[in-house]
Structure 1
Amino acid sequence: MEQHQSLLHAIYYLLAAVIAVPVFRRWGLGAILGYLVAGVVIGPQVLGLIFETESAMHLSEFGVVMLLFVIGLELNPEQLWKSRYEVGLLGGAQILLSAVVIAAFLLMLFSLTWQQAFVIGLTLALSSTAFAVPLMEEQKIMGLPLGRKGFSMLLSQDMAVIPILLLLASMAPVASSHGERLPWWVGVLTVLGMIVAARVLFNPLLKLAAKYGSREILTAAGLLIVLGVSLLMLTVGLSMSLGAFLAGLLLAQSSYRHQLAADIEPFKGLLLGLFFIAVGMSLNLKLLFEHPLLVMALALALMTIKVGVIALILKVRKFSFREGIFLGIMLAQGGEFAFVLMASAEELNFLPAVITSYVVLVVGISMALTGPLVIGYERLIQRTTLQEKALADMELHKESLSALEQPQEHKPEVIIAGFGRFGQIIGRILTANNIPYNALDRNADHIEFLKQFGVQSYYGDPARLDLLEAAGVREAKVLVVAVDGVEESLKVVRLVKEKYPHVALIVRARDRAHVYQLVELGVENPIREIYESSLSAAMQTLLELGFTEGQSQNTIDLFREHDEQMLQKSSLVHNDLAAMIKVAEDGRRELKELFAKDTQIQ
């Protein structure tokens, strides 16, 4: 019976998510709010389909672990260092100013210690990356200076979660139920040990999994590293979240980072969705019904403070108040990490349950209000005018922006998908001509070889859109498809033709049948992999038989021209065997006649 109940609960979770998330996204309110509302509906306070929320919360915490791991993977230390002033100063100023103002506001209204007020202020200063980034993309400001400033703030907030967790642990009167807190230096030594382990253990483990295992084994190796480091951090008195973030950061420069992020994404998405559903089930709606005006007033006060702080900071950076308010509204909601931080604060006996319930409820309400406020503000001002002004500002300040504000990134002109013998020759010629390129290959040995020569390379399946985008296909002019497998090659071509039709395709063809399929997909002049080398061998053979160099070259040129014509004819009827046989017979006869005429002329 218990097994049936667990299965029924799983069905409830999935059904609630499948119904709520598309509806809320359709309304422009975001997936997170959809998960939260789904949790409220199936939880004990509404339909009562699920009463035991604690077990769901424990399982769903792994979603936050996966989220922090992926965030760590995406924080390339080199790029982070280049934009350190933007992220550190801009994002840090937003977090600290918001936290101080919120803490002062709380101290005036409630009986809290300054430590409690400050931790709550830091918690509420964080915004929801999962909420804000889609909003900025929808408003088409991500590529503009305003969007870059917003992303810098979000990046700084994501990085601030770990220091806030450490600050919370240091301020807490006692450790959690995990036992007595170990000395601080144990945690420091553990972190240093992880840095060493990343070089001598993690990367070799991933290399072995990629070389001798399957894609599933590589995923399993990545999960093993994440969960292993998380458990170790938990054991020494730190948090699983810190361990996951550290593991991701240590692997951020690994050749396998994009494949790991892509493979772990489904686990992260499902578990994070479960986390928000569990939070929704645990929301104290009784507080909302008992004090609706207070909760709404607190949510609006939070959003007003954050909008004001962001608008003020951006005004200092030469943006208008209108732009600052626009970005501020998109970042005004409380973030998903508020649920994590408040759960930790309650577990550590740092904050009473009633306070954490209010904070979580206020964050949920602020999320619900963000979408409508953005839509309302967009209608209040003319969106097109705002975008035109942002574009004008970008052009006006283009020359004056410092290199730190616009870090120079490696922008490849060419992507080589498949770096075996075929792709390597192309890469060498590009290198000799100082043409930047990225390589993408599923062979771990090829990736290690490329890294020795400083080539930016990516491990993974070239037929996956997320990995092609990570390798830079959006900015590339040419994609060389040099993979071995016919099906893999066709899949890459279909994908790029559909998503990035502006990218020129140079495709290696295994045989004539492969050429026919590529021509059907619209590839012009596929490169037959052994064709030119066979013609070169044929020319050497003719020379050895006594032909002059001119005669040999002329013979090869005649054959090449005729063969290309034949290829075009046969590609039109390659599905009709009888027609193919006729084309082949006609071709042999025509070729003999061509050579005969050429001999007579000579």
Structure 2
Amino acid sequence: MSGSILFAAIVFLTGAIICVPIAKKFGLSSVLGYLLAGILIGPYIMGFVGDEGQDILHFAEFGVVMMLFLIGLEIEPKSFWQMRKTIIGMGGAQVLGTMIVSFLLFTTIGFDWKVSLIISMAVSLSSTAITLQTIKENGLMNTTYGASSFSILLFQDIIVILMLAVIPLLTDSEKTAIADDHSDHIYLLENLPLGFQALAIFLSVVTVVLAGRYFFVPMLRLVAKTRLRELLSASALLIVIALAYLMELVGLSPALGAFLGGVVLATSEFKHELESNLEPFKGLLLGLFFMAVGASINFIVIGDNPLMISGLVVAVIVLKALILFLVGAIFKLKADQRLLLTIGLAQIGEFAFVLLSFAFQLNILDRVELDMMLVVTALTMTLTPILGIINERLILPRVGTKKAETRPVDHIAKTHKVILVGFGHFGSTVGRFLRSYGIEATILDNDSNRVDLLRKMGFEVYYGDATRMDLLESAGIAEAKILISAIDNSDNVIHLTKMVKEKYPNVKLMLRAKNRYDAYDLLNMGVEDVYRESLETSVKMASDALNHLGFRKYTIYRQAQKFIQYDEESLRRLANKPKTREEYIFKAKEEIKQQEKQLEEDLNRGIIEFDNHWDSEQMRAAHNAPEK
């Protein structure tokens, strides 16, 4: 048994290591890479994974639970409460609308009404794993699309409880009893009256809240005192597993319980520690989940009913897309955000596996219907990343940017000769220093929360996406002398640079670069003033270290300035060299040798006997003391 587990681990890890980098190389999402890896190693292509694929799928669903917990950590209780109208409104409209239309569709093509109802429930659900992973990969969590998708998915996680309660009512008690005898699912409340079940569920939610505040946080404080990182990781896993298990016992979604626990712990001092400890587990389990979905696609069923399967896949995606598009229109989402929502949630989700299997256990679905819908579910999940790429590359460019603002762009009432884009830790330092000289800048930032905070602190900051030319023009780019970019997204910096150089070439560009490679790109675009964010700080740290070791301050200062000068000159020379890895390494080694030689010569040539103006009295006295 252990050998088979180890072999399965090797197969899954190898598939991921091969397929995901290839997918990323071609600009595809990691989700698609995992799905393709699962298809390849599955029982119908290479045959490395057999029937155990379904067991792996159920195990890997815990990655979804972890993801919801981590998302909960990012949402404080107050913010969650503010989302309630969106959750109920958009989520309710999507689920109800999809169920009605899909029920009519499946009854029309000849399915029994009970079967149609079960399938319509499954179709109304979307994949939390695929959707949220794609949103996070693309940095869209703070957009209207991200918030709307999350609200709908959260409502689906809640409504699935009601769906699981309704399914047994569609069969007679004898069949239910037979099915229950063969079910491994533990549900403590199933024999209680409905009122007691509701009370128990409410008490379970209260337990999660109280446990988060009065048990988990003290436990984490106790564990933190041991200073054992592995124990903190174990504690984080324990919290998620305990919450998921409690919710499962009372018939709630484990993912929902984990999310609520995350929200409760969002204000604790262990928020970031929990995130860092759980993130690797979540990533691995989600990858395993996507691969298991790919491996679960039954190509024999597809081969037996190709027209029926393909027709249902297309019908489901189109049906859900239309409903989502209408929901987006009702809630006044902008066109690009509506398209993202339409494509992003058009698949059937992982909870459909649970609903369909449960209905099969209760003899509502037969084996043919179950296999067919499981294949349709897996195929819609697999097609979603592909549709997302088509939407991003072919449709959205004709509609507008995919990064719609979560609030209207501010009206800029006053412009200045300097425009400062980005007012985070880097940009705020620049802006404050300019202001100390009486130089005001027109400050733009696309983080609405940061804008609100900075305004409370007395800064005049305007909200908006500075990569849009209309916003730059309203900020006075035509009359500005300098545009300072302090944003940390290299793609946005390059886009901003191209846009300004093309239309306003006389504006002086001063750009932040996160590293040497970003600096190379900007220098090759003809930008002279490029500032690496880590250069000055790292040289300052080295200077302080040398001073603590007994070297003279002024000598260190001179050498530091020379080091920066030579490194900047080297940067410009390397930027013009061919970028093959071997040639770059060779040239970089030559530059480092030359730079070290110059610094050594400068140090030997520049030492002055009384070069001690910045030294402490103690160091000066020690240096001038006569030798014994």
TM over 0.5: yes
Pair 1:177-2:184 in alignment: yes
One-letter amino acid of the structure 2 residue matched with residue 9 of structure 1: A
Counterparts of residues 203-242 of structure 1 (less than 5 Å): 203-236=217-250, 238=252, 240-242=254-256
Pair 1:586-2:599 in alignment: no
Paired with 1:498 and 1:126, the residues of 2 have a C-alpha distance of: 45
How far apart are residue 191 of structure 1 and its match?
Answer: 3.1
Residue 249 to residue 380, structure 1, CA distance change in 2 (3 Å): closer
Q: Spell out, residue by residue over 1:18-77, the C-alpha distance to the aligned partner (whole angstroms, 9 max, x if none).
A: 222333444555333433333333233332223341543453243233233223333432
Q: Do the aligned residues in 2 keep the contact of 1:33 with 1:367 (CA within 8 Å)?
A: no
Paired with 1:590 and 1:378, the residues of 2 have a C-alpha distance of: 58
Equivalent residue number for residue 34 of structure 2 = 35
Paired with 1:389 and 1:44, the residues of 2 have a C-alpha distance of: 38
Equivalent residue number for residue 245 of structure 1 = 259
| Residue identity (%) | 32
SS at match of 1:79: helix
User: CA RMSD for the aligned pairs?
Assistant: 4.7
Equivalent residue number for residue 333 of structure 1 = 347
One-letter amino acid of the structure 2 residue matched with residue 210 of structure 1: A
Q: Do the aligned residues in 1 keep the contact of 2:344 with 2:388 (CA within 8 Å)?
A: yes
Equivalent residue number for residue 196 of structure 1 = 210
Of 174-183 and 246-255, more deviation after overlay is shown by: 174-183
SS at match of 2:349: coil
SS at match of 2:269: coil
Q: Spell out, residue by residue over 1:455-475, the C-alpha distance to the aligned partner (whole angstroms, 9 max, x if none).
A: xxxxxxxxxxxxxxxxx999x
Q: Do the aligned residues in 2 keep the contact of 1:308 with 1:325 (CA within 8 Å)?
A: no
Pair 1:435-2:435 in alignment: no
Counterparts of residues 136-175 of structure 1 (less than 5 Å): 147-149=143-145, 151-172=147-168, 173=176, 175=180
Of 320-329 and 350-359, more deviation after overlay is shown by: 320-329
Equivalent residue number for residue 62 of structure 1 = 62
SS at match of 2:50: coil
Q: Spell out, residue by residue over 1:118-170, the C-alpha distance to the aligned partner (whole angstroms, 9 max, x if none).
A: 45334323334554467668999777xxx514531333213421431353145
SS at match of 1:212: coil
Paired with 2:390 and 2:402, the residues of 1 have a C-alpha distance of: 20
Paired with 1:368 and 1:45, the residues of 2 have a C-alpha distance of: 16
Residue 61 to residue 105, structure 1, CA distance change in 2 (3 Å): same
Residue 181 to residue 275, structure 1, CA distance change in 2 (3 Å): same
How far apart are residue 366 of structure 1 and its match?
Answer: 2.2
Paired with 2:537 and 2:271, the residues of 1 have a C-alpha distance of: 35
Q: Do the aligned residues in 2 keep the contact of 1:32 with 1:130 (CA within 8 Å)?
A: no
Report the TM-score, using the length of structure 1 for normalisation. 0.63
Paired with 1:9 and 1:227, the residues of 2 have a C-alpha distance of: 24
**Structure 2 residues not aligned, in runs of 5+:** 169-175, 412-421, 427-452, 460-486, 490-511, 520-533, 564-595, 621-628
Pair 1:315-2:329 in alignment: yes
SS at match of 1:363: helix
Equivalent residue number for residue 99 of structure 1 = 99
Residue 208 to residue 389, structure 1, CA distance change in 2 (3 Å): closer
Q: Do the aligned residues in 1 keep the contact of 2:160 with 2:253 (CA within 8 Å)?
A: no
SS at match of 2:347: coil
Paired with 2:228 and 2:364, the residues of 1 have a C-alpha distance of: 46
Q: Do the aligned residues in 2 keep the contact of 1:162 with 1:241 (CA within 8 Å)?
A: no
Q: Spell out, residue by residue over 1:349-375, the C-alpha distance to the aligned partner (whole angstroms, 9 max, x if none).
A: 664444343233212222343444455
Equivalent residue number for residue 51 of structure 1 = 50
How far apart are residue 299 of structure 1 and its match?
Answer: 1.0
How far apart are residue 206 of structure 1 and its match?
Answer: 1.5
How far apart are residue 569 of structure 1 and its match?
Answer: 2.2
One-letter amino acid of the structure 2 residue matched with residue 76 of structure 1: E
Equivalent residue number for residue 521 of structure 1 = 538
Q: Spell out, residue by residue over 1:67-97, the C-alpha distance to the aligned partner (whole angstroms, 9 max, x if none).
A: 3322333343222223333343233322321
How far apart are residue 295 of structure 1 and its match?
Answer: 0.9
Residue 356 to residue 498, structure 1, CA distance change in 2 (3 Å): farther
Paired with 2:318 and 2:56, the residues of 1 have a C-alpha distance of: 34
One-letter amino acid of the structure 2 residue matched with residue 92 of structure 1: G
Q: Do the aligned residues in 1 keep the contact of 2:554 with 2:613 (CA within 8 Å)?
A: no
**Structure 1 residues not aligned, in runs of 5+:** 400-410, 416-430, 438-471, 475-493, 502-516, 532-562, 596-602
Paired with 1:578 and 1:242, the residues of 2 have a C-alpha distance of: 64
Paired with 1:223 and 1:389, the residues of 2 have a C-alpha distance of: 35
Residue 317 to residue 195, structure 1, CA distance change in 2 (3 Å): closer
Residue 341 to residue 315, structure 1, CA distance change in 2 (3 Å): same
Equivalent residue number for residue 440 of structure 1 = none
Equivalent residue number for residue 461 of structure 1 = none
Residue 29 to residue 255, structure 1, CA distance change in 2 (3 Å): same
Paired with 2:352 and 2:376, the residues of 1 have a C-alpha distance of: 10
One-letter amino acid of the structure 2 residue matched with residue 521 of structure 1: S
Q: Do the aligned residues in 1 keep the contact of 2:73 with 2:271 (CA within 8 Å)?
A: yes
Q: Do the aligned residues in 1 keep the contact of 2:186 with 2:249 (CA within 8 Å)?
A: no
Q: 2:297 aligns with which of 283, 286, 290?
A: 283
Paired with 1:108 and 1:240, the residues of 2 have a C-alpha distance of: 35
Paired with 2:249 and 2:133, the residues of 1 have a C-alpha distance of: 36
